[in-house]
Amino acid sequence: MQAAAAALFKDWSGYLKPEDISRLESAFQFSEQAHEGQFRQSGEPYVSHPLAVANILAQWHLDSQALTAALLHDVMEDTSVTKTEISRNFGKPVAELVDGVSKLDRIEFESHAEAQAENFRKMLLAMARDVRVILIKLADRLHNMRTLDAVTPDKRRRIARETLDIYAPIANRLGLNSIYQELEDLSLKHLYPDRHRVLAKAVKAARGNRREVVGKVLDAIKRKLKSAGVEAHALGREKHLHSIYRKMREKHLTFAQVQDVYGFRIIVNDVPSCYVALGALHGLYKPIPGKFKDYIAIPKSNGYQSLHTTLFGPFSTPIEVQIRTQEMHKIAEAGVASHWLYKDSDTSLSDLQKKTHQWLQSLLEIQSQSGDSAEFLEHLKVDLFPDAVYVFTPKGKILSLPRGATAVDFAYAVHTDIGNRCVAVKINQELMPLRTELKNGDRVEIITAAHAKPNPLWLNFVTTGKARSRIRHFLKTMHFQESAKLGERLLNQALAALGAAPAEIKEAQWDKFVRDAGAKARQEVLADIGLGKRLAAVVARRVLSRSEPGPHETPAPGSVIIRGSEGMAVQFASCCRPIPGDPIIGLISKGQGMVIHTHDCPVVAKARHDPERMLDVAWDPETRKLFEVSIKLVVANQRGVLAKVAAEIAEADSNIQNVAVDPEDGSSYTNMFFTIQVSNRLHLARIVRALRRIPEVVRLSRVKG
């Protein structure tokens, strides 16, 4: 390996200083000694892998710190070398890079999925501090994918799937186009070897069959550009295999139906020449409507810029053409790595660096809101969605969002507070539902209200990681606060049963209990009571330092008053749908808090063997919330009866939440089911009386369950 290393160091000396090469030689020797006796599954000495990774990075002209870290990237993971040792020998920045790439192998995880998620989280947070971490990791993954034939088929498929789900999209997000395409093709090869082989063979055959057409089109393009006075370099390009495979799968096409296997790329000197070339080509072949995209005026989120157009070529063959400048081409191929590769380039690179930095900062924000590694990984996968739509704020600022993003995603992209308080949206000056999917060019205006808050149902349709993590964080925080309030009420009731008042408990008693219970704060204990994870009576005894019931203790006096405004801490059972006026009982359900049931609910009957879960509750006389109740009507099957019933319900000041009618079966009568909103039993009774007056209503009953 020494000879191979020496040859590579000689190549790298073209852009690195002599002292950098000397440090790299030391790093190679250190890595070789650390990995001594270790071999890859292909049989090669293990040190050949870090050397190959460093060589991939050298092709991007990364600095000596990154190359040193690449040579050492596995020593912490696979040998006894520590971060301190690396820092002492090669400096703290190199040690931080190696630590960012290293897996958390010394921590025990419950499952491989949990370990994988936590490793991604660690790596991506290190990447947010220094983007070189992910460049090293991508080079590492690329070399592993190139040499994947040596591992077992199961492991091969798992690594290929992980690469396709995470690493290839990250490469795409950072604009590393050549690596992105190679990772996708290698993943296809190892995930579906038969499909890859058949597709590669078909493309090779098509290459010969279509060579004449491609040559003819290329000659025509060159002549047209020359006559238009545009100095350009034009070349034909073949789409990569995974791109063809994805198109076949998504559009249900056979290979013969995929006509745009070949595309054309035109590289010009400056931006005005891009548009002149576009006009010339539209004069040569007719453009296909709706197939033109201007990524120069509105660059992709990864900094990519080009004009894209699709033309009707000879023999009615669609021709995809990309037009870009030399600088745009460099960024398109090397992405964020072009910062090192072309340091003398123009200001567009600084724009790319800003966009990359903003994305990395958004990862930090998302991870701070995520409950665990798996949730963070889920948000990340959503954020790596490759396609995008471009929409405008009311002031004309352009925002890039994933395809399928809704108005709620837009609101959170503007600011978290806008998202949390949004109540409506105007898209192109028209009021639309918040779940409306946005399209390219939409002008979006969010309408907010001071006391509005996120709706849990938004999680069913938002697509961005930021929106999803913010909504979940808000709901968790709100759930915690509401549970803590309920827990305090339950604890006060339990203290009253012990003949004590909350004010009697000294701060020192609370501090001791919180410490003994392993909780972080008093609020956490109260929230646990509200969620049913701790029993109020037990907490009351322990915080008062009592072990046995005293002689003057009585069962919990009075009842917990239910106002209907407790939020998520108190839930109303869907099995019996209690409303004010119904006799009710509370069941403490672990993790859910208190669930309110009617006395005659079958669920309550089953829970009577566990009296500690049951609580006396009573309705507050002043409840202002509306409650859902279901009613069933048997009606004569006559024209207009549904309209009559709906009118009477509306007349009685009730909203209809849902309505269902049994299908027509030729009978004289039919069943109607309504879910309506009422304030209490008296309100329901008023509605029932009004409905009974309708001549077509034969029978009416309230439905529970």
Name 396's Cβ contacts closer than 8 Å, sequence gap at least 6. Answer: none
CA-based end-to-end distance of the chain: 74
- CA pair distance 194, 403, nearest whole angstrom: 31
Angle between helices 48-58 and 132-146 (to 10 degrees): 120
595 phi and psi angles, rounded to 5 deg: -115, 125
Burial (CB < 10 A; 0-12, 13-18, 19+), residue 618, is middle
DSSP state at residue 651: H
Give, in degrees to the nearest 5, the angle at Cα 283 between 279 and 287. Answer: 85
DSSP H/E element including 516: helix 507-517
**Helices in 566-680 by DSSP H: which ranges?**
602-607, 641-651
Tokens read off for 220: 């025509």
Contact 562, 619 (CB under 8 A): yes
- CA pair distance 180, 334, nearest whole angstrom: 10
Contact 29, 71 (CB under 8 A): no
- CA pair distance 138, 132, nearest whole angstrom: 10
Query: Catalytic residues, which ones?
Result: 77-78
DSSP state at residue 580: B
72 vs 16, 29, 69, 81, CA distance in Å?
Answer: 18, 10, 5, 10
267 phi and psi angles, rounded to 5 deg: -115, 120
The DSSP code sequence of 320-335 is EEEEEEHHHHHHHHHG
- CA pair distance 442, 392, nearest whole angstrom: 6
Q: Order of strands, edge to edge, in the sheet holding 307-312?
A: 232-238, 262-268, 318-325, 307-312, 293-294
The DSSP code sequence of 136-149 is HHHHHHHHHHHTGG
Contact 305, 348 (CB under 8 A): yes
Contact 140, 53 (CB under 8 A): yes
Contact 669, 637 (CB under 8 A): yes
46 phi and psi angles, rounded to 5 deg: -60, -35
Tokens read off for 609: 């063997």
